[in-house]
Structure 1
Amino acid sequence: MNYVIYGEEKLLMEQKLTALKKKYHIHEEEMNMMTYWCNETPMSAIIEDALTPPFLTEYKMIVVKNPLFLTTQKQKDVSEEDIKMFLKYLSQENPTTVFVIYHDQKNFDERKKVVKTIRKSTQFIDVEKMDYHQLYKVTAQAIKSRHCEIEEDALELFLSRMPSDLLEISQEVNKLCLYTNHITKEVIDVMVVKQVEENVFELTKAILNKELAKSIQIYKDLIMNNEEPIKLIVLIANSMRLLYQVKLLDRKGYNDREIGQILSLNPYRLKYVRQDGKDYDIQELLKKIDELSELDVQIKTGKIDRYRGLELFLMRLGGNSEWNH
């Protein structure tokens, strides 16, 4: 029995692996499961173990992780002979060994002969990442199962601050439910760290609203958190470009669902981008994007210091040309 568990949603992948263990009565305490990392164990040793009958159990499980030789990356310690040995094993299949290739990235090289072959000789369990609506539903259920409740706007804010990774969301939900059984927006603000993009969007709004003091304060906070000015320039430009794209698509008559799909935005963020961007002029957005692009070039060509350059860009909001620390 040969399987490939493949994807980026680590929690769901672990659940699929657990389901296979249950199906074949695999219990680690019975010593009938072994996990190997391809970059640490020779292929010959992995295959030798896979061919060895289980001891006092009906089945044994071999889990092979980090199979770089199947990906777009190179794995120097796996030779052509190793790959032939690997494919020969898969073609014969040991009826008492559950052989699982486990890879938590989406980078199999489909051009490789070995990948094409294993797609024919193994059962692929392809674990797709959840979209926003699936994450919303699963997160709400997870909170409810812990006998807690969360307000709708708090759940939206929570998901906007989390990566779309179910494992990380699950860990954060545990923390929130230990803190309180009634989760509000205020609780999220205290307990869940803002992503740098959220702070940059606040900075972007302050720039567009010509709020000099607020812009400087947010900038200082970001620099204190070791954010690089060049990275901030790119993120500010991206935020302005997003505002521009939403306004443009809105003018063309696209609805929220269509805009969200085109720009890969979750509904919560789209709601606030649309709301915050309604008063901004498209030409002003394009002008600021051009200014940031020019600033980026000046910094990278050594014409201006990266910190001073971004500071002067912000100071022009107040009509000043210098900022004395």
Structure 2
Amino acid sequence: MLIFLYGQDNFRSRRKLNEIIEKYQKSQKSGFNLRRFDLAETDFQDVFSEFQQSSIFQEKKLLVLENVFSSPNLKEKLLENEKALLESKDAIVFYENDKLGKIAEKNAFFKFLHKEAKSQEFNLLIGQQLRSWARKELTKRKCEIEENALEKLIEFIGNDLWRFSNEIQKLSSFKSRIDMDAVLLLVKPKIETDIFKTIDCIAAKKTKTALKLIRQHLEDGENPLYLFSMMTFQFRNLLLVKSLEKEGTHHGNPYVMAGKLGMHPFVFSKTMRQVNFFTLEELKKIYRKIFQADLDIKTGKVQPDAALDLFIVTI
């Protein structure tokens, strides 16, 4: 039996891999025939030799092969032995920890696995899928979360499920019903340092540098919708702080301002540093552009990555 696990969300794919291993260990008590190889670290010949060997026990073997796509030699050898792979009585799991990309997906071995193996792709969760996943994780810990607190948690963390899982564990240990106050108290927002740098560049009219920073995020596999949401989040914060400054009701007290806005101290300190680079009218104009870009993305008029570029260029 061939199993192929891949995709950018390596939290859920790793969890699935561990479930397969645990199930095997329960059914095959000796554990002698579980073999794990990481092709980023192991010579392909060692793996191929293991594939060719028969078990001296009656038990089926479980071979876990990680990062096979980093070993061209092994891919070729396995394709040459396609018939033996398909007829094997052992379970062979091909696990890819990182995003494969379009080039790998055109590879002959990828096509073979996609066709012949039990394939499961783990894409990054967004929107309702992410909310549902978070609620299920909280339910496992006998914990509930208020709707606005969940939205704030997603806003702070994004779809990094490794961190999300850790924050859920921390919050559920704190109280059984999580509210906004708990999230603001315990969770530090995940606003990439480069997002603050990008906004600094926008303020200084360094458009090329701002575009370069965004491009780097995209090349590193960041979701353009997530990046756009972070830009929106921070410009919204700037507009809120600037508006409150103009009201003059806080008497210059940063703690009063942060509390009134429900803003995390980390974000507030960064926002206070940036807010003087913009006038209130400039921020209102930028926020209108954000609204239009968001509308264009949702109606399919423009792709998210193009909307990001256009937004930065036209500010």
Instruction: Report if TM-score (shorter chain) is over 0.5.
Output: yes
- Shift of the 25–141 alpha-carbon distance from structure 1 to 2, 3 Å rule, reads closer
- In 2, Cα distance between equivalents of 1:199 and 1:29: 55
TM-score, normalised to structure 1, is: 0.60
- Shift of the 220–7 alpha-carbon distance from structure 1 to 2, 3 Å rule, reads closer
Q: CA deviation at 1:39?
A: 2.0
**Does the CA contact (< 8 Å) of 1:32 and 1:61 recur in 2?**
yes
- Whether 1:91 aligns to 2:83 is yes
- Whether 1:5 aligns to 2:21 is no
Q: How does 1:154-303 map to 2 (within 5 A)?
A: 154-196=149-191, 197=230, 198-199=233-234, 201-206=236-241, 221-222=269-270, 243-247=288-292, 258=298
**Does the CA contact (< 8 Å) of 2:11 and 2:162 recur in 1?**
yes
TM-score, normalised to structure 2, is: 0.62
Q: Secondary structure at the match of 1:30?
A: coil
Q: Secondary structure at the match of 2:3?
A: strand
**Does the CA contact (< 8 Å) of 2:7 and 2:13 recur in 1?**
yes
**Does the CA contact (< 8 Å) of 1:26 and 1:60 recur in 2?**
no
Q: CA deviation at 1:201?
A: 4.0
- Whether 1:65 aligns to 2:113 is no
One-letter amino acid of the structure 1 residue matched with residue 109 of structure 2: V
Partner of 1:40 in structure 2?
Answer: 41
Identity rate of aligned residues, in percent? 17
- In 2, Cα distance between equivalents of 1:61 and 1:85: 19
- In 2, Cα distance between equivalents of 1:242 and 1:262: 18
One-letter amino acid of the structure 1 residue matched with residue 79 of structure 2: L
One-letter amino acid of the structure 1 residue matched with residue 118 of structure 2: Q
Out of 179-188 and 107-116, give the one that drifted further: 107-116
**Does the CA contact (< 8 Å) of 2:79 and 2:109 recur in 1?**
yes
Give ranges in structure 1 of 5+ residues lacking alignment: 70-74, 265-285, 293-325
- Shift of the 176–208 alpha-carbon distance from structure 1 to 2, 3 Å rule, reads same
- Shift of the 67–243 alpha-carbon distance from structure 1 to 2, 3 Å rule, reads farther
One-letter amino acid of the structure 2 residue matched with residue 34 of structure 1: R
Give ranges in structure 2 of 5+ residues lacking alignment: 192-229, 258-264, 305-310
Q: Secondary structure at the match of 1:17?
A: helix
Q: Secondary structure at the match of 1:100?
A: strand
Question: Residue 142 of structure 2: which of 143, 147, 168 is its match?
Answer: 147
- In 1, Cα distance between equivalents of 2:58 and 2:270: 57
- In 2, Cα distance between equivalents of 1:26 and 1:240: 63
Partner of 2:16 in structure 1?
Answer: 16
Q: How does 1:305-324 map to 2 (within 5 A)?
A: none
Partner of 1:111 in structure 2?
Answer: 106
- Tell me how many residue pairs correspond in the alignment: 246
